[in-house]
Structure 1
Amino acid sequence: MRRYFADTVAQIVFSTIVGAFVEIVVAGLTPWQSMGVRLAAIPVILFVGRPYGIYRDWLFAVTAGNSNQLKAAAVDTVANISFQIPIYCVLLAINGATIPQIVSASGSIVVISALSGRPYGLYLVWCRKLFGVSDTPS
Structure 2
Amino acid sequence: MSFSGSARFRQAAADMFAMVVFSFIAGMAIEIFVSGMSFQQSLASRTLSIPVNIIIAIPYGLFRDWVLRKSQHISKRSWMKKLADMFAYVTFQSPVYA
Q: TM-score, normalization: structure 2?
A: 0.80
SS across alignment from 1:67 = coil
Quote the sequence identity (%). Answer: 35
Please say if residues 19 and 54 of structure 2, whose CA atoms lie closer than 8 Å, have aligned partners that are also in contact: no
Q: Say which of 69, 78, 90 aligns to 2:87.
A: 78
* 1:55-108 Cα shifts (integer Å, max 9, x gaps): 00111122226711110011011111111233234xxxxxxxxxxxxxxxxxxx
Q: Over aligned residue pairs, what C-alpha RMSD do you find?
A: 1.6
> How do 1:1-138 and structure 2 match up within 5 A?
1-64=9-72, 67-89=76-98
Give the number of equivalent residue pairs. 89
Shift of 1:11: 1.1
CA 1:32–1:74: 2 relative to 1, 3 Å: same
Q: Which runs of 5+ in 1 are unaligned?
A: 90-138
Q: TM-score, normalization: structure 1?
A: 0.59
CA distance in 1, matches of 2:95, 2:66: 19
Shift of 1:27: 1.1
CA distance in 2, matches of 1:29, 1:83: 25
Q: Which runs of 5+ in 2 are unaligned?
A: 1-8
Please say if residues 60 and 66 of structure 1, whose CA atoms lie closer than 8 Å, have aligned partners that are also in contact: no
